[in-house]
Structure 1
């Protein structure tokens, strides 16, 4: 059955509006996270004097064990936000800093690492690396916040080797059900309530496919859930 021109025009406008709404929602999401990062940094500066006063008082009272534990907590929190991520892609460094601030606010132990030389002539756009990594990390955060505080861990590893960028994001937790696996990359599907859900993984798959990369995942009781992306770093590798 052929659609009439007015109906076809309406459908096209609806698709375009949906795409614009999705882009706007994604932009607002990352703006909120960047804002959260700066809030965490400002908060550390604001609390610095309080920490010094507390530690000075503990020292005067001879509470050395308590002082050591308190100092350890302060140093750990400072390192989580304050360390400079040393790698060749500043945008990815900014993303990881934003995610670190979010993780800190949610009680998530988030660790990331980046190794290998970045190829400045890579056909892969940095904005797409940020999209892929950001969505996978967000997805992992959404899962671990369901766990008790001491079990919330997310690992993100970037490796540049053998002509590929390899990104691995892992988290503990219950395995993804077989029913959910079948629909995992379906636009709009999500195991979480709320609007604008179910968009992250389809975006990841689309961007990976655009570069003829690979996207794999496994999820089980013992190893938790692991997503891995491999993107070619040389134009000649793209088909």
Structure 2
């Protein structure tokens, strides 16, 4: 119950944060236009272009996280994107259709995405710390032949075989070191099974991938 309440509080905070980001971008839009106009009037075209490129990049990051998504889903996607970016991790959302189209409850969807992305970020940060290179996370979502397919990939350090064998089936199994309890992976599998889905995962050449298939109709 405490974990459920904590997750609900996090979801509320994520939605509020996303709303404030979008509101702030809209509020400042005319200021940015005025700044670019001033640069162009003063023949500072290269400077204006650089300013515009940076502005568009910021808008695209926000848009990728919220486009077509319900508030709760947009909140967790945006929050995870910011968390990854602040740690130097490159994160890519490649979504053919909004994740909100999945025929499962908002609560299950937020829990699924939150744990999946949080695990990916933690593992990738550990990989970055060892190799001193930028890690990558990709989240793909598409629909094929009556199935929704969610595919997450991330850099990861070596995972012992005894951990891999029971990773998504028992509590206390985790791919990460330090203060992690292995609860998230079991919760992911519980949600997939609850919604008549199928989960598969692989680890190869320091890349961990999870593929989840869920029926388009429940």
The superposition leaves residues 149-184 of structure 1 with CA deviations (integer Å, 9 ceiling, x where unpaired) of 972432222222222221111123434343432453
CA distance in 2, matches of 1:92, 1:68: 33
Q: 1:144 to 1:52 in 2, by over 3 A?
A: farther
CA distance in 1, matches of 2:96, 2:148: 10
Return the offset for 1:74: 1.6
Counterpart pick for 2:113 among 114, 125, 133 = 133
3-state DSSP of counterpart to 1:145: helix
Q: What is the total number of aligned residue pairs between the two structures?
A: 212
Return the offset for 1:57: 6.4
TM-score normalised over the length of structure 1: 0.68
CA distance in 1, matches of 2:94, 2:12: 23
The superposition leaves residues 124-164 of structure 1 with CA deviations (integer Å, 9 ceiling, x where unpaired) of 44432332222212211222334279724322222222222
Counterpart pick for 1:86 among 64, 68, 72 = 68
Is 1:211 the counterpart of 2:195 in the alignment? Answer: yes
Counterpart pick for 1:165 among 128, 134, 148 = 148
> Could you tell which deviates more after superposition, 36-45 or 56-65?
56-65
Q: 1:117 to 1:33 in 2, by over 3 A?
A: closer
Alignment gaps of 5+ in structure 1? 1-19
Q: 1:189 to 1:203 in 2, by over 3 A?
A: same
> Could you tell which deviates more after superposition, 49-58 or 140-149?
49-58
Structure 1 stretches of 4+ moved >6 Å: none
Q: 1:234 to 1:54 in 2, by over 3 A?
A: closer
CA distance in 2, matches of 1:121, 1:142: 25
CA distance in 1, matches of 2:18, 2:147: 30
Is 1:73 the counterpart of 2:54 in the alignment? Answer: yes
Q: CA RMSD in A?
A: 3.8
3-state DSSP of counterpart to 1:151: coil
Quick check: which has more Rg, 1 or 2?
Answer: 1
Partner of 1:26 in structure 2? 7
